[in-house]
Chain A
Amino acid sequence: MKEILSGNEAIARGAYEAGVKVACAYPGTPSTEILENTIRYREIDSSWATNEKVALEVGIGASFVGARSLVTMKHVGVNVAADPLFTLSYTGVNGGLVLVCADDPELHSSQNEQDSRNYAKFAKVPMLEPGDSQECLEFTKLAYEISEKYDTPVLLRTTTRISHSKSVVNLGERTDQVREAKIEKNAAKFVMLPGNARVRHVVVEDRTVQLSKDGCNMPINRVEMRDAKVGVITAGISYQHVREALPEASVLKLGMVHPLPFDLIREFAAKVEKLYVVEELDPFIEEQVKAIGIPVIGKEIISICGELTPGRVRKAFGLPENAQAAVEKLPGRPPNMCPGCPHRGVFYTLNQLKAYVSGDIGCYTLGFMPPLSAMDTCVCMGASIGMATGAAKVLSPEERKKVVAVIGDSTFLHTGINGLMDMVYNKGAATVIILDNRITAMTGRQENPGSGHTLMNDPTNAVDFELLCKAIGVKNVRTINPLDLDECRTVISEEMERPETSVIITDKPCVLIKREGIFKAGAPLQVVDESCTGCRACLKIGCPAIEWVPASGKKGKAHIDPLLCNGCDVCSQLCKFSAIQEAK
């Protein structure tokens, strides 16, 4: 059967066909939809883990007792999961284990542009890289075979343009030879104490050599001879751009990017006049080809930064650019917090209080944007609290009061809680605001341990943030309504004054939550024209539902779009002239 699937959907399908029993992940763009699709298959136990390290450990546990498991994350998630990954390389697997890491060249939705292929080499684990959705399905299945045959976890690397592109896929059936789980003890393999690990390290090195040799005969590493003048070594999405931009060039398409099939590369290099490597991000293939003494052109013509496009490949090879329209500069259109978003009032308050805001990763990172302009740092998941502790350690007592960490519910449970424990333990003096909107919003509303539901939509325990904070020793824990600006200002300023750790929890759900009874929109508001003086106070919250109409009245007036307004009432609290009222 044929279907149009995204790379992520095809990976989920491939896992199903491969007989996977457990799938585990922490959401992260562009990887999120893989687990949102494994739930279509009831044979797979799919779950959101609290973070990527836990997700991988869940996968490892299932693998060690014999089942096939799938673990997925975005590129920076692999940093979190790196600790188990590096030793998993030594233990190897029992049931096949595939770790999907989705890179984000061009930083469409990420804080850095790291190239995960380096992890394959660093952790000494094979890595496959599909070039379209059909390959996503086939490579996923192949990855399980490689995993079990070579006793190794396998990395499957996608990029945004693979994960989020759709193409036609031929579907298969689920294997009828699904591995059953049962306890099989094997301490020498699974207990990585030095004595055992020394033995396993040798196994790992031999495995890499063997895979490099066997890779020369794997059909996923294939030579396509056309004009022998130009030979290109490439993989993944770059292969598609090369075929588009250089239809006559001969190509060595690598399906396995680590370890490289060196003999095949030598053979291909000998057949072509001039050899190139076309790859996004780091010169990962290029440096290794150079290291075996083969001259090759790569990063001299292809940028290390950003993603490739057919046009960028054409340009790199000196081909003329297509004629195209010259467009004049336009106002940008960055994303914005939604109308009625419970974060808006908090960031407005932090801006007014001139706080030094140690930020984190989520929708609320948009609090950085003007006019809210109330975020001063953003480094990685969970970093806000630790960074606040560090800043508070060295600032003067006056400036120390300004330090406020903001972190979402899911991010707090991911890796923020460790930072808070550290802050309390080491008597840090800063304010932590947990923006609890009951969902992992930024990646598209995924459940988390605070939301009360699992990925499979079962009701479950919901973490009690107040009790949790108290249990780890925070004495000052207060819960506020973030849509009440007076309450925000009073409570946040009081806690900022306090010379010890305090936590403020905001208690309003994300406006995008669809589950009934959680988010309730208020009645839409309107601006009463006669009362609006054009003071622009309501514009300071940057709500997409409020528009400045310069031509209205003498100096302009505000207008509220009733179709966008969620009736949160934050703007009306800013209006001194009672010009914002419920729409009639």
Chain B
Amino acid sequence: MSDKVTNIVLVGVGGQGILLAAEILSETFMLAGFDVKKSEIHGMSQRGGSVVSHVRYGKEVFSPMVPEGEGDILFGFELMESYRYLSLLKPGGTVVVNDLCIAPPSVLVGQETYPADMALKIQEFCPDCLLVDGQNLAIEAGNARAANTVLLGAVSKRLDIEEKYWIEAIEKMVPKKALEVNLKAFQMGRGLK
């Protein structure tokens, strides 16, 4: 096992299920035999605020926070939030982002406008960017709520972890009645190029 620590940053809007996705990632890495640390701020996360979760794994991990400019993968649940936290990503890092815009309060009330071309701006800094139509793929898998799992599938394809650990973690963390749809959504995400 190399000493290299792999850094993943998950960003989005409170209520999108970011914390659960981060849990599944961490569980997978532990099952694969790595040291894992995960850090996030909750408390206000259910109330529509900006949410960031850091997940790091490797032989030995010290800080639970991804150092600025050292993120290997940015796992974005929403476009503007993904752009906001690009500074955590290293140049040449990978972005997997949900093709979704959620208006923040100032945009909802018409005081500001949602910034244009977020996806393009992310791609400018980071050519290795996969834009995922999470919602429609999830509907195809059987439930719109499985969008996160589609994204997770796409992220999993970009990490060198055996598939069985992902499946085991999903089976452990996702409620039984939603499992079939989520496993399907995961495979759809894994199939994305």
A interface residues, Cβ below 8 angstroms from B: 2, 4, 29-30, 108-109, 132, 160-161, 164-168, 237, 240-241, 243-245, 309-311, 314, 321-328, 330-338, 363, 366, 369-371, 442-444, 512, 536, 539, 542-544, 546-548, 550, 556
Contact = CB atoms under 8 A, between A and B. Distances in A.
Nearest to A336: B48
Nearest to A541: B109
A333 B50 contact: yes
A324 B42 contact: no
B156 to A, nearest CB: 18
A244 B62 contact: yes
A557 B103 CA distance: 15
Interface string B23-46: 100110010000111111111101
A547 B43 CA distance: 25
Contact of A331 (B27, B67, B91, B107): B107
B48 A333 contact: yes
A4 B50 CA distance: 24
Contacts of A109: 41, 43-44
Contacts of A546: 108
A325 B37 contact: no
A240 B68 contact: no
Interface string B59-90: 00111110111100000000011011011111
Contacts, number: 174
B30 A539 contact: no
The 4 closest A-B pairs by CB, nearest first: A322-B69, A548-B110, A335-B49, A335-B47
A443 B61 CA distance: 29
28 contacts: A4-B26, A29-B43, A161-B39, A161-B64, A161-B65, A164-B42, A166-B26, A166-B38, A167-B61, A323-B69, A325-B125, A326-B87, A330-B80, A331-B104, A331-B106, A331-B115, A333-B48, A333-B81, A333-B104, A334-B49, A334-B105, A335-B49, A336-B49, A442-B43, A512-B46, A539-B110, A543-B108, A544-B48
A34 B47 CA distance: 22
Given A166-B26, A323-B69, 6 more contacts: A4-B27, A109-B43, A244-B63, A328-B115, A335-B14, A335-B47
Tell me the interface secondary structure of chain B in the complex: mixed
B109 A310 contact: no
Nearest to B64: A165
Given A330-B83, A547-B103, A165 B39 contact: yes
Contacts of A166: 23, 26, 36-39, 64
Contacts of A543: 108
Contact of A240 (B13, B49, B64, B105): B64
Contacts of A370: 109
A371 B109 contact: yes
Contacts of B64: 132, 161, 165-167, 237, 240
Contacts of A443: 43
A30 B42 CA distance: 8
B113 interface: yes
B113 to A, nearest CB: 7
A187 to B, nearest CB: 44
B51 to A, nearest CB: 9
Contacts of B67: 244-245, 309-311, 314, 322
Contact of A310 (B13, B63, B110): B63
A163 B51 CA distance: 17
B114 to A, nearest CB: 7
B140 interface: no
A191 B86 CA distance: 59
B180 interface: no
A330 B86 CA distance: 12
A159 to B, nearest CB: 11
Contacts of A334: 49, 104-105
A322 B104 contact: no
B112 interface: yes
Contacts of A542: 105, 108-109
Report which residue of A243, A245, A324 has the largest number of chain B beta carbons within 10 angstroms of its beta carbon: A324
A444 B14 CA distance: 13
A338 B125 CA distance: 34
B108 A327 contact: no
Contacts of A324: 68-69, 86-91
